[in-house]
């Protein structure tokens, strides 16, 4: 690198790029991240690690030093525009919360008056008593399974007996929007909920979570896997950096897991290497708006694979002999500089498509080249003549 900071042509720019420059870039990204979260809630996520991951990712995919700087600037540019959106959202949610509190206070006053009147009433007719509470717990849980999570929580106001019934549902669905984007309340609520379920040894079939910049989501996801969830759905807030599914904290190993859906998640090879043998029941996988730092998706049981609007950062091989339906689409129309900082050219190689009956391949941003297999199978021979590059 010369005195102007320019790396000479023909020289491997990565080996000549000093750590001091990289640290400076990390600090710039960190500063941008810190402006997006209130100081009281930054403890829920290690922003230093997030900044390091962003810089490392860009350092890996950049073609040269100039491209490295351009991608860093794109990342910072998008992050710097985010706080306006979040402030507008918080003001709107605060207004809604004030209206709800006023309504609840009025309602509480009416209920208090009603309780006082009921104390002077004679005993009600037998048919007016709460007969549902006398049903077996298994039957009550079955009835509540037809309710949404929010509806089930509301049953806790019916009587003392109903207070904790909703916490034992087999299907857990939680959205940080329900907490007005309050990350501390959301995190505390979910920790207490999962602890109460562990103490009661409550079974779990479905775990669906929409979170926002909370590192503990790795523990929550791992909790669902360890408690034999059949359906696992996780989505990170779309305006934030993709959530890093940490292979040191999440062991994607389960003989019960059948469906996996991830949105705005960064996935590396370590996570996907577990799928080949550790999830023998996995049949459905949906990846939306994710960063795929993987070289292979391999599974002998997978039947339906959808990769929608994802950023493929390495050439990807898909080896799924039982696959029936395959959809890889990239129809992004937004001009997010943050997302564009990860655009590279990659190839998706489909190794085995012998059992596929439905296939849709589409890339609108010219970033993905699809290569299909040739074989003696007539269907595969037809497929191998198709090459989708838009």
* SS3 (DSSP) at 325: strand
3-state helix, strand, coil in the chain (%, to 5): 45, 20, 40
Domain membership flag for residue 213: no
Across the chain, what does the average pLDDT equal?
A: 77
Domain-located, residue 45: yes
Give 350's strand partners: 318
What pTM value is reported for the model?
0.76
What is the Cα–Cα distance from 298 to 286, expressed in whole angstroms?
14
281 domain residue, yes or no: no
Residues in the chain: 390
Q: Is residue 210 part of a domain?
A: no
CA angle 363, 231, 315 (to 5 degrees): 30
Question: How many distinct helices (H) and strands (E) make up the chain?
Answer: 13, 16
Residue range 44-51: mean pLDDT, rounded: 92
Within 10 angstroms of residue 94's Cβ, the number of other Cβ atoms is: 11
Average pLDDT estimate for 354-360 = 85
Residue 145 maps to a domain:
no
b/e per residue 163-200 (b: at least 16 CB within 10 A): eebbbbbbbbbbebebbbbbbeebbeebeebbeebeee
Question: Which residue matches tokens 């002999």?
Answer: 321
pLDDT at residue 37 in the model: 77
Look at residue 41 and tell me if it is in a domain.
yes
- Residue 157 in any domain: the answer is no
Q: Structural domain of residue 38, as residue ranges?
A: 13-80
Region 341-367 average pLDDT: 76
Q: What is the DSSP letter of 293?
A: E
pLDDT for res 247: 92
pLDDT at position 101 is 53
Asked if 300 and 276 count as a contact pair (C-beta separation under 8 A), the reply is yes
- Is 155 part of a structural domain of the chain? no
Q: Which CATH number goes with the domain that contains 69?
A: 1.10.246
What pLDDT was estimated at residue 117?
Answer: 42
pLDDT higher than 70, residue 353: yes
- Looking at residue 239, what is its pLDDT? 85
What pLDDT was estimated at residue 59? 92
User: Residue 33 has what pLDDT?
Assistant: 87
- The number of folded domains in the chain is 1
* pLDDT tier at 315, thresholds 50, 70, 90: confident
**pLDDT interval class at 271 (50, 70, 90):** confident
pLDDT score for 42: 63
């Amino acid at each position: 690198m010369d005195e102007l900071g320019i790396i000479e042509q023909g020289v491997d720019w990565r080996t000549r790029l000093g750590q001091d420059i990289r640290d400076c870039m990390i600090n710039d990204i960190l500063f941008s991240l810190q402006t997006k979260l209130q100081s009281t809630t930054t403890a829920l996520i290690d922003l230093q690690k997030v900044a390091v991951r962003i810089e490392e990712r860009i350092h890996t995919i950049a073609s040269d030093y100039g491209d490295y700087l351009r991608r860093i600037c794109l990342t910072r540019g998008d992050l710097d525009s985010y706080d306006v959106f979040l402030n507008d959202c918080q003001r709107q949610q605060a207004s809604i919360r004030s209206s709800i509190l006023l309504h609840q206070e009025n309602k509480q006053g009416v209920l208090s008056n009603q309780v006082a009147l009921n104390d002077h009433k004679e005993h009600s007719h037998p048919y007016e008593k709460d007969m549902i509470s006398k049903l077996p717990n298994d039957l009550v849980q079955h009835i509540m399974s037809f309710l949404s999570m929010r509806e089930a929580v509301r049953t806790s106001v019916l009587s003392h007996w109903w207070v904790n019934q909703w916490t034992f549902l087999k299907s857990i669905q939680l959205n940080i929007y329900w907490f007005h984007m309050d990350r501390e309340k959301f995190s505390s609520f979910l920790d207490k909920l999962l602890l109460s379920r562990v103490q009661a040894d409550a079974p779990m079939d479905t775990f669906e979570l929409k979170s926002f910049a909370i590192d503990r989501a790795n523990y929550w996801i791992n909790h669902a896997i360890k408690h034999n969830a059949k359906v696992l759905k996780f989505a990170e807030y779309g305006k934030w950096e993709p959530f890093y599914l940490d292979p040191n904290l999440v062991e994607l190993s389960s003989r019960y897991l059948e469906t996996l859906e991830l949105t705005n998640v960064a996935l590396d090879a370590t996570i996907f290497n577990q799928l080949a043998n550790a999830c023998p029941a996995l049949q459905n996988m949906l990846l939306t708006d994710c960063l795929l730092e993987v070289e292979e998706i391999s599974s002998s049981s997978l039947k339906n694979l959808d990769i929608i609007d994802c950023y493929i950062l390495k050439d990807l091989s898909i080896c799924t002999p039982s696959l029936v339906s395959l959809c890889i689409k990239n129809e992004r129309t937004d001009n997010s500089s943050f997302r564009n900082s990860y655009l590279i050219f990659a190839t998706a190689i489909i190794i085995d498509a012998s059992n596929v009956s439905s296939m849709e391949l589409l890339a609108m941003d010219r970033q993905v080249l699809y290569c299909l297999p040739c074989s003696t199978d007539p269907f595969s021979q037809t497929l191998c003549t198709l090459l989708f590059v838009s």
